[in-house]
Structure 1
Amino acid sequence: MSNKVVHAIYNDDDILLDAVKKTRAAHHHIEEVYTPFPVHGLDKAMGLAPTRLAICAFLYGITGFTIYANLLNYIMIVDWPQDIGGKPSFAFYQNLPAFVPVMFEGTVFFAAHLMVITFFLRSKLWPFKQAENPDVRTTDDHFLMEVGVHGNEEELVSFFKNTGAVEVKVIEK
């Protein structure tokens, strides 16, 4: 099995988007696309599934809300009830209006911090990880599409030149 990939380099995001659509229509497998900035519609053109991070954010928010509601109940009602400003501390529902800002902030805190951790783990980005950028120009002004070679190499190179690539290279991975 060949470990070769084609690096097709483009200098315009619209040309890249059209090339991705043509590549998918020709049933070539796109390994990765490297861009210097987010390209609107690229994920849909590549056929990537929608992210499920929003579901995680909701679950993390519910977790934070539950933890903070139970924490407030234990601290302010069960463990050490105090008469603050003449408000009774006999039941959670009687003090609920005072607890709402704290529970809201706890919800946001949990959702935000756990989302960042989830994103880093899901993206395999951890401290001291080496960059996986195949061409330094993709951090400045060029776009790179990486496609696995399965079949005729010369035919694939000419296909990408016809899609508007300014440079096409075959790389052994």
Structure 2
Amino acid sequence: MASKVIHALYIDDDVLMDAVKKVRAEHYHIEEIFTPFPVHGLDKAMGLPHTRLAITAFMYGCVGLTVAILMMNFIMIEDWPQDIGGKPSFSYLENMPAFVPIMFELTVFFAAHLMVITFYMRSRLWPFKKAENPDVRTTDDHFLMEVDAGNHDVNKLTSLLGDTGAVEIKVIDKEEDNH
């Protein structure tokens, strides 16, 4: 089943921000906005919920710290204790100050690498994925707002978008997919 989507193209990010606020005030659903660079405050203007990626970063850091502690305890204390510089390794707590750099590095390593993987999975950016950019000009100097026409009057919506400063408006029949 096809649904109607309206693409409104803008040439200025300030005009885009005002347009987003006006479209949201009229209770239309903005599907996506494509920009050539990050626009500060656009997520709040679109009404997007706050991200929980910081919580996952903390959890991944805790996993890295746990792996570091268990790894160093097993390697340096239980499996193969060594007398380094006349200082025997009797317990983990006695040697922990020497292990702090390793704990820090593995905490950062796990948080950073697992966050990249989480970001790609959450954004559905798979290797060899076909680009979903509807207009190539949005990678250079234009901004595109994709508004779901749904059951709304398309003519009224296009006139609203024209009044917000859109330089080009297209009505498109979009195939519904599960992405």
Q: TM-score, normalised on structure 2?
A: 0.95
Q: Could you say what the CA RMSD is over the residues aligned between the two structures, in angstroms? A: 0.9
Structure 1 stretches of 5 or more lacking a match?
none
Q: CA deviation at 1:88?
A: 2.2
Q: Sequence identity of aligned pairs in percent?
A: 69
**Residue type matched to 1:72 in 2?**
M
Structure 2 stretches of 5 or more lacking a match?
175-179
Once residues 54 and 30 of structure 1 are traced to their aligned partners in structure 2, the CA distance between those partners, rounded to angstroms, is 25
Once residues 93 and 86 of structure 1 are traced to their aligned partners in structure 2, the CA distance between those partners, rounded to angstroms, is 17
Matches for 1:127-138 after TM superposition, within 5 Å: 127-138=127-138
Once residues 138 and 78 of structure 2 are traced to their aligned partners in structure 1, the CA distance between those partners, rounded to angstroms, is 58
Once residues 160 and 2 of structure 2 are traced to their aligned partners in structure 1, the CA distance between those partners, rounded to angstroms, is 19
**Residue type matched to 1:27 in 2?**
H
Q: 1:168 maps to what in 2?
A: 169
Once residues 130 and 93 of structure 1 are traced to their aligned partners in structure 2, the CA distance between those partners, rounded to angstroms, is 52
Once residues 148 and 25 of structure 1 are traced to their aligned partners in structure 2, the CA distance between those partners, rounded to angstroms, is 15
Q: 2:177 maps to what in 1?
A: none
**Residue type matched to 2:157 in 1?**
L
Once residues 77 and 34 of structure 1 are traced to their aligned partners in structure 2, the CA distance between those partners, rounded to angstroms, is 54
- Answering whether residue 28 of structure 2 is matched by residue 22 of structure 1, we say no
Q: CA deviation at 1:97?
A: 1.0
Q: 1:54 maps to what in 2?
A: 54
Once residues 12 and 141 of structure 1 are traced to their aligned partners in structure 2, the CA distance between those partners, rounded to angstroms, is 8
Deviations 1:85-144, CA, capped at 9 Å, x for gaps: 122200001101111111111101100000000000000001000100000110010000
Q: CA deviation at 1:28?
A: 0.3
Once residues 10 and 23 of structure 1 are traced to their aligned partners in structure 2, the CA distance between those partners, rounded to angstroms, is 14
Once residues 100 and 123 of structure 2 are traced to their aligned partners in structure 1, the CA distance between those partners, rounded to angstroms, is 34
**Residue type matched to 1:143 in 2?**
F
